Each structure stands twice: as structure tokens, then as C-alpha cells.
Amino acid sequence: MKIPAAEPGSSAWRLLAGTLLSCLAVAAAGAASKKPPAVPDVVSAVEGLSWLKRLGLTHQMSSMGKMGAMGERPSSAATPGGPSGAQSLQGSFTLSGADLYRLDCQACHNTGGGGLPPEIRSLIDPLRATSPVALRQQMAKRGVTLDDATVRQMTSQAEAAVRERLLKGGERMPPFRHLQGVEVDALLVYLKSLAGIAGAKEHQIQVTESPLRVGEHLVKGTCFICHDATGPGRDAIEGSPGLVPSLASLLEQDPLAVVVRKARDGAPAPGMQGKRGEMPVLSYLTAEEITAAYMYLAAYPPSR
């Protein structure tokens, strides 16, 4: 089809130019949409007692914070830089829902989301309730047939309940108020893939985050389960087995390289050379992620 010539400034020319600009805008939007969305850099310090202390539990009485040791080391790190120093992380992280799960959930719910019932409940059944197919299958076993409207209502309510639990916590589950909208979306679709919901694996979401945001995830989602924000450090607890040093003391007593090694490979307990302490080996974390946590604690000092 031949496009008729149009004089610059004419109404036909303005119409043609407007059409071309619209096409370019759509193409640019499509290209931009391929890049993982950036999460706003809203960061806050970790505060108060560890989650275990808030529940009235000691480290020895609970499996919380220890289940992540069952995981494998990540196959790759999604960020530039390395463990040589905090200054090495100058770029951003690209995180998947699986990464957010490792940083925020795996220490209690393990790699597959099953937890350790009855203390740590499974994440799988609540997520299966968000699937129309899984819901129909479950109800069919009970001899119940549901119409489409009821299925939509029930699955919608189930997903809303999961989202609320993530942000507000539960009887024994801490709230994850640091999670933002697109992070919750990415985490949920990953959890749905763990639950075997059809199509979830093909619709995973990635996000772009600053090192400080990544550090906040790791500290609040994993470290804060067992470690108070402030309080005694390593030297103060040598004669008190079972007492966990505070997060604030890490920066005062341990250089970054030591923190990375302890988290990923373990380390002798104070005064017990050659013997492992009670901290689980978190080998599923990358050195870059631990570096980001160290940077976060330095930039946002823990408070009471």
C-alpha cells in the first residue's frame, strides 16, 4: 500500500507523525517492560529482640532459622562485585522469586516450602488453595462440585490470605513488612511453582534491587530470627553457651571476610577452637548477598 505524501505542517502530516510517535512509544514500552522493574529503595533499620525471643523461645528450643542449611549453594550470583569488601558492590541485584525466597523464607521453611510441622507449617497447602484446578480437585475428592463464580471467590480469598500472612505474620510467623508490592508478587508466583500449580513456572517475576535492599531482606528475613538487633557481642558470651551475639556486634568485632566465611562455611565457637558453634551453615547464600547484609547493617545501624 502506498502512503500518500503529506506536506509538513498539514493536518495529514500531523496525523502521520502522531501515528509514528505512538508506534515508537509502544515499541519503547515493550522494550522497557523486558527489564526487571526496579524496587523503590525504601530501607529501614532492624529493631528490637529476635523473633525467637519474642516468642519466648531459645535457639535450642526451635528449628526456626536452621532449616535453610538443607539448601545447596546457588549456581550463580546475580550481582557484580564480590566478597573482598563492601565497596565492591556498586551495581544492583537482579532477584527472582526464588532469590527472595532464599533470603526471606528458606531459613524456616526449607528449600521445598514444607517447613517442619507442627512447629513450622508448610507453605504448600495454602498456595494450592489459590489454584482453581487444585481447588476443584480437592473438593471433588469430597464429592463437592463448585461453579465458576464460587471457585473464583474462594481462590481470590485464599491468595488475599497468603498476602496478608506475609505482611502481618501469624501466631508463630514473623511479619515481613519490608516486602513491597512487586516483591510479594514475585515471591507468590515462585511459591506457586513450589506448590506445583500449573503455569507458575512459566510466569516467574524478576526485580532489580539495590545492595542495601538485598541486605535488608537477608538480615530481616534470616538473621533476625535468632539475633537481637543490639546487645552483647561475641566476646561477651564466651562463658554463656547458647547466647546469640547481636547484629550490632558483628560490625564491631568481625571484618566482612570473617562474616562471609562464618555464614557460608561455619566457624569455631568462641573459646572452643576446632568445634562448631550453633549457627547453621547458610551455604545457599552468595558472598555478594552476605556482603550486602554487612553494608546494610553499616548504613542502617540496628537499634533497640
End-to-end CA distance of the chain: 72
Which 3-state string (H, E, C) describes 21-64?
HHHHHHHHHHHHHCCCCECCCCCCCCECCCHHHHCCCCHHHCCC
This prediction has a pTM of 0.81
Cα separation, 137 vs 81, in Å, equals 47
The predicted structure's pLDDT at residue 70? 60
Which residues, given as ranges, of the chain have pLDDT below 70? 1-34, 69-89, 236-242, 267-277
Residue 13 lies in a domain: no
The predicted structure's pLDDT at residue 195? 94
For residues 116 and 66, the answer to whether their CB atoms sit within 8 Å is no
The predicted structure's pLDDT at residue 14? 40
Residue 25 lies in a domain: no
Residue 27 lies in a domain: no
Cα separation, 49 vs 228, in Å, equals 5
Residue 189 lies in a domain: yes
In the chain, the amino acid numbered 143 is G
- Return mean pLDDT, the chain: 82
Q: Which domain holds residue 98?
A: 37-118+178-299
The phi, psi pair for 194, rounded to 5°, reads -60, -35
Q: How many domains does the chain have?
A: 1
Residue 212 lies in a domain: yes
Cα separation, 260 vs 285, in Å, equals 9
Residue 271 lies in a domain: yes
